[in-house]
Structure 1
Amino acid sequence: MFRLKTVCSIATMMLATTAASMPALAQDNLGNGTEIIMAQPTWDTGWFHTEIFKQLFTELGYSVGDVLTLDNPAFYQSVGYGDVTLWVDGWFPIHNPYQSAFEGTAEVIGPVVSGGALEGYLVDKKTAEAMDITSLEDFKRDDVKQAFDRDGDGKADLVACPPGWGCELTIEHHMNAYQLNDHLNLIKAGYAAAMADAVAAYDTGSPILFYTWTPNWTVNELVPGEDVVWIEVPEVSLPADMADLADAATREGVEGCVNDPCMLGFPANSIDAVANSDFLEKNPAVRALLENVEIPITDVYAQNAKMNAGDDDIEAHATAWIAENRELVDGWLEAAKAAQ
């Protein structure tokens, strides 16, 4: 009888201890192997923060397999159906046209990259100041065209977008709207190679004019406000299917712009997560993580520069970033655990 009571008492104590420890164990592995199907865009400048999130979800106990690389329409349709769980590369408002594909079944959370996603035209700072260049309109001046004409065709050279990129259409629209076709020569070769030539020209002291977007390695190599400046468009003019985004083409507080607010000519975007609503409802820790994490865009620039230099081990880059920001990351993870 004594033995039975003792065994029962020990069993009771073990059950009590186990029950008391269950919340802690659940928080240490709260995902419990639940699968997250992540996607990433076709542009590799977004893969770094995708990998950071993948590793953070794994730390929470979720199972994340190989990330799917999808174009925009395929992702937004898939996340709406629940075939894909999420990605962290929604660009809004420029992705607004895709919202009908996931309205009511997925939602936008963000930003997940602080600092915003910009597009526009830049000029080396030295020449911009020396020649008083503040707008694309200035490239109608003969002295400016001559300074930026590297191939001798009488036009200023502009590193633009290769055929098939969305920005190609906007730039062509600008050329027509601002009557710049007789003044600018668009370089549409491979962007990385064309920008490498532009950087080499800059290093020799030659004037350069180029289009870029953020995050991108270019603004780590040529820093706005130090090496280059964002210039403005004469007025905001967008293709017809983007006309309702005109207000987003002027932005305040753009570092290195010739004016504030800065009339970039391209809609400025927020880089947000887009996740399936049903999954978020069942996994509040995932929602909390998406709501709390903000990766500085300057860190994305720096990683993109590593890739451009040939170091393409994105997994290692993300692991190192998490280690270097461990205290901040632990705060995000604790907030996620508390939400579950």
Structure 2
Amino acid sequence: MTYIGAEPIHLLVTANDHNEQYWPFESAAWWEDPSFETTVFTPVLTERVELLRSDSPADWVPAEVLARMMRALDYEVADPAFNETDAESAYIQMETGDSHLFLSDRSNPIYGSIFDGYDGALTRIEGSISGAGLPQGWLVTKEWADEAGITTMDQINADPSLYEALDRDGDGKGEFFTCPENSSCGSVQSAQTVFAGWDNLTPFQDDNDELWSEFLARVAKGQPAVAYVWTPSKFFSQANVGVDTMWLSVEDASVLDDSNPLAIDVGTYDSQIAPDGTKGFGDVDPGTCLEGPDGCQLGWLPWNFNAVANSDWLRRNPKVAELLRVTQFSARDLSYFSAELDELDKDMPPEEVEVRVQAIADDWITANNDRLEIWIDVARSAR
């Protein structure tokens, strides 16, 4: 176990508003447990890091975990709860040197990100936070898929016994649940259906919460159902992927290109083929994906959450650079963080929200302490 602070204190602690002392949360029942092996560090805080976090709840726990790890590397870190801002404001602050580090930049191979206008003065640490990328695509009832031997959306479209099992309105076509009308993900799925020639399938668009509730109810009964989901999201955290649901593949030839089959404005941006030719995404746990003839192919490009830092500051702090390189959270983790915090009462006082952030961070660190030990050790050895 790693400890931080002037006195030997476990990593499962947080700083007060002024970052002057640390205390364990009441949830830390392990504190008196003699079975925990401990490695004690007694660092001398050397440099203050202005760590900014975004206003998206999915970033709050990662920012807290990162702050604690940097303190274990002898840095004094500003409480990210008091440095919350949007990406553009963060990049301006970092470009001038007023702040050092931000979680996190959102980017996609097609849409890019706000960061692209600051390249040079700032560095985006590719592969940090979200690793290879955050998947999006279609989930299917696992029980139904296993019984029917389903692996791809193309297969469902080609087999009347499969697409008719998804028919909700009696028109002879199968419906799969998607995003509300006029949303970007809804536009992609409408174009995808035409491009792939899925003439026997129809994207059904409605309120996300209502459709998702129906999807989960069908899944719970083992009934046929297909629904789009993105990560991180509360929806993904509820899907029990790999147990109750599975990622559904598509054939490579069905991955939407920039041909704009619906002939709509900016329809070329619906493409799910990256500028380098990469089609869709399939880098997910093999136990959660139904592999089609082209392997695990979700048919959608991933989103990426990456840390961004002031370039000069990052060069002067190789330990932080290495820590950011190895620090990665799974789509399941980020979805859980997002779900737990999105569901909080909007009128909850900020200090109570932060108590919840700290408690979630405590729980995650407890469950992943071995990984954190490795990340900190790797960073500590950087020169």
- The interval holding the TM-score normalised by the smaller chain is 0.7 to 0.9
The CA distance in 2 between the partners of 1:331 and 1:309, in whole Å, is 32
**Residue 280 of structure 2 aligns with which residue?**
249
Quote the offset at 1:107 in angstroms. Answer: 1.5
Matches within 5 A, 1:88-103: 88-91=104-107, 93=109, 96=112, 98=114, 100-103=116-119
Amino acid at match of 1:236: V
**Residue 119 of structure 1 aligns with which residue?**
136
Amino acid at match of 2:256: S
**Residue 293 of structure 1 aligns with which residue?**
327
Query: Does the C-alpha gap of structure 1 residues 263 and 332 become closer, same or farther in structure 2, counting only changes over 3 Å?
Result: closer
Amino acid at match of 1:207: P
Contact 2:249–2:297 under 8 Å retained in 1: yes
- Tell me the SS of whatever aligns to 2:227: strand
Instruction: Pick the aligned partner of 1:160 from 178, 195, 198.
Output: 178
Q: How many residues align?
A: 311
Q: With structure 1 as the length reference, what TM-score do the two structures score?
A: 0.74
The CA distance in 2 between the partners of 1:182 and 1:100, in whole Å, is 40
Query: Does the C-alpha gap of structure 1 residues 146 and 288 become closer, same or farther in structure 2, counting only changes over 3 Å?
Result: same
The CA distance in 2 between the partners of 1:139 and 1:205, in whole Å, is 20
Contact 2:189–2:203 under 8 Å retained in 1: no
The CA distance in 1 between the partners of 2:218 and 2:335, in whole Å, is 21
Query: Does the C-alpha gap of structure 1 residues 252 and 142 become closer, same or farther in structure 2, counting only changes over 3 Å?
Result: same
- Tell me the SS of whatever aligns to 1:262: coil
| Greater helix proportion | 1
- Tell me the SS of whatever aligns to 1:86: strand
Q: With structure 2 as the length reference, what TM-score do the two structures score?
A: 0.67
The CA distance in 1 between the partners of 2:375 and 2:109, in whole Å, is 26
Matches within 5 A, 1:39-188: 39-40=53-54, 42=56, 44-57=57-70, 60-65=75-80, 66-70=82-86, 80=95, 85-91=101-107, 93=109, 96=112, 98=114, 100-109=116-125, 110-114=127-131, 116-137=133-154, 138-139=156-157, 141-163=159-181, 165-180=183-198, 183-188=201-206
**Residue 239 of structure 2 aligns with which residue?**
222
Contact 2:141–2:222 under 8 Å retained in 1: no
The CA distance in 2 between the partners of 1:81 and 1:207, in whole Å, is 54
- Tell me the SS of whatever aligns to 2:150: coil
Quote the offset at 1:131 in angstroms. Answer: 3.3
Quote the offset at 1:118 in angstroms. Answer: 1.0
Structure 1 regions of 5+ residues with no counterpart?
1-23
Contact 2:94–2:122 under 8 Å retained in 1: yes
Contact 1:254–1:262 under 8 Å retained in 2: no
Matches within 5 A, 1:270-285: 270-285=304-319
Contact 1:77–1:101 under 8 Å retained in 2: no
Structure 2 regions of 5+ residues with no counterpart?
1-40, 259-267, 346-352
Query: Does the C-alpha gap of structure 1 residues 144 and 296 become closer, same or farther in structure 2, counting only changes over 3 Å?
Result: closer
The CA distance in 1 between the partners of 2:185 and 2:284, in whole Å, is 23
Alpha-carbon RMSD: 3.6
Q: Percent identity?
A: 23
Quote the offset at 1:203 in angstroms. Answer: 1.3
Max Rg structure:
1
